[in-house]
């Protein structure tokens, strides 16, 4: 399976990061979203992040110019049909992902590999709604994509060996490392990371520590680069809650019960950095704990 053209659905935080690394690795990228504003914003972010890499001597100006030249955009989902690999990086909601695949299927080449960047939803279940479960995989990049080295590869029950091997080669060409995960709720990284974040929220909820003391304890006591509450704000509290719900529903174990305080913050619309308020308030010069 030769993969040269890559279609990406969603130009948001994950989608534009994925487009960035693919274009830099020499792939032709077609980026799709539902609004021109989202596409323009995505290209602006890619340009800014490539320029940062140039300023730090990670890549040359020629590399940046060539990468930008390989990225094109479209508002028409059907245009992605002629690509060799499609990566869906839309909102973490199963109904949205299923609707995208349904609209895309009639336009795909028989050989196109379909993938989802989902961080927690069943790959087997997503694949079963398509016409090519054997050519369907979970392709989970970490955020921020240009910096993080890991890509989780998740096989559904029907995924065939050539599809898996093709994606292992893609990850190698991107200069990243792949980790194979079985198709169980939240895979590897989020299966371990999200309960830790949820436990940090419980520690706050129960008054064991303040936002500041919890984050400082994990940074200085466990050598974590970011505290768990700071990290939750970076990821998005709505995303954290969605993944905890997938774990709780999928594994039916009370240890995965989302903390009521996490639910309350999401209900308030305090989702972290993207809304300027979460466990920290980001509206001023420096972040201020909200509890």
> Catalytic residue at 152?
yes
> Catalytic residue at 16?
no
Per the structure block, which two tokens stand in for 262?
């996490």
Question: Does 194 or 92 have the greater pLDDT score?
Answer: 194
Q: Residue 92: which residues within 8 A CB-CB, separation 6 or more?
A: 118, 119, 120, 121, 239, 242, 243
In the predicted structure, residue 1 carries a pLDDT above the cut 80: no
CATH number of the domain that residue 283 is part of: 1.10.1040.10
Examine the domain organization and report whether 86 and 219 are in the same domain.
no
Rounded mean pLDDT of 212-240? Answer: 97
- Residue that has been written with the tokens 């980790």 in this structure: 179
Q: What is the mean pLDDT of the chain?
A: 97
Out of 151, 166, 182, pick the residue that ends a domain. 182
pTM for the full predicted model: 0.91
* Active-site position among 120, 152, 178, 230: 152
Q: Cα separation of 215 and 225, whole Å?
A: 10
- First-last CA distance in the chain: 52
Q: Please give the residue range of the domain that contains residue 243.
A: 190-289
Out of 182, 208, 232, pick the residue that ends a domain. 182
Examine the domain organization and report whether 18 and 109 are in the same domain.
yes
Examine the domain organization and report whether 178 and 198 are in the same domain.
no
In the 8-state DSSP scheme, what is residue 10?
A: -
Burial track 36-59 (b if 16+ CB lie within 10 A, e otherwise): eebbeebbebbbebbeebeeeeeb
CA 191 to chain centre: 15
In DSSP terms, 155 is beta-bridged to 137
- Residue that has been written with the tokens 């508002």 in this structure: 75
pLDDT digits (tens, 9 = 90+) for 147-183: 999 999 999 999 999 999 999 999 999 999 999 999 9
pLDDT digits (tens, 9 = 90+) for 104-126: 999 999 999 999 999 889 999 99
Annotated binding-site members for NAD(+): 10-15, 33, 92, 97, 119, 143, 274
Examine the domain organization and report whether 31 and 173 are in the same domain.
yes
**Helix H or strand E segment including 230:** helix 228-235
* Active-site position among 122, 190, 198, 230: 190
CA 213 to chain centre: 29
pLDDT digits (tens, 9 = 90+) for 264-274: 999 999 999 99
Say what percent of the chain tops pLDDT 70. Answer: 100
Q: Cα separation of 47 and 28, whole Å?
A: 16
* Active-site position among 116, 119, 120, 178: 119
- Please give the tally of structural domains in the chain: 2
> Catalytic residue at 230?
no
Examine the domain organization and report whether 202 and 178 are in the same domain.
no
Examine the domain organization and report whether 272 and 169 are in the same domain.
no
Dihedrals phi, psi of 270, to nearest 5 degrees? -90, 90
């Amino acid at each position: 399976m030769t993969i040269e053209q890559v279609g990406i659905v969603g130009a948001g935080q994950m989608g534009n990061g994925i487009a960035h690394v693919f274009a830099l690795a020499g792939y032709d990228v077609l980026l799709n979203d539902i609004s021109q504003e989202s596409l323009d914003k995505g290209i602006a972010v890619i340009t800014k992040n490539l320029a940062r890499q140039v300023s730090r001597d990670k890549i040359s100006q020629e590399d940046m110019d060539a990468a930008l030249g390989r990225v094109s955009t479209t508002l028409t989902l059907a245009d992605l049909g002629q690509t060799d690999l499609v990566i869906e990086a839309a909102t973490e909601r199963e109904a949205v992902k299923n609707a995208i695949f349904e609209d895309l299927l009639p336009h795909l080449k028989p050989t196109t590999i379909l993938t989802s960047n989902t961080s927690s939803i069943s790959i087997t279940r997503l694949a079963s709604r398509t016409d090519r479960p054997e050519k369907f995989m979970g392709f989970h990049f970490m955020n921020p994509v240009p910096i993080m080295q890991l890509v989780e590869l998740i096989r559904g029950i029907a995924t065939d060996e050539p599809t898996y091997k093709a994606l292992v080669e893609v990850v190698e060409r991107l200069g990243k490392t792949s980790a194979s995960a079985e198709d169980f709720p939240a895979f590897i990284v989020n299966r371990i990371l999200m309960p830790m974040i949820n436990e940090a929220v419980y520690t706050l909820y129960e008054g064991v520590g303040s936002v500041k003391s919890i984050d400082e304890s994990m940074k200085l006591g466990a050598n974590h680069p970011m505290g768990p509450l700071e990290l939750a704000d970076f990821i998005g509290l709505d995303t954290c809650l969605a993944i905890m719900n997938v774990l709780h529903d999928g594994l039916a174990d009370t240890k995965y019960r989302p903390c009521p305080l996490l639910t309350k913050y999401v209900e308030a619309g305090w989702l972290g950095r993207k809304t300027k308020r979460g466990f920290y308030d980001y509206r001023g010069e420096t972040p201020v704990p909200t509890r």
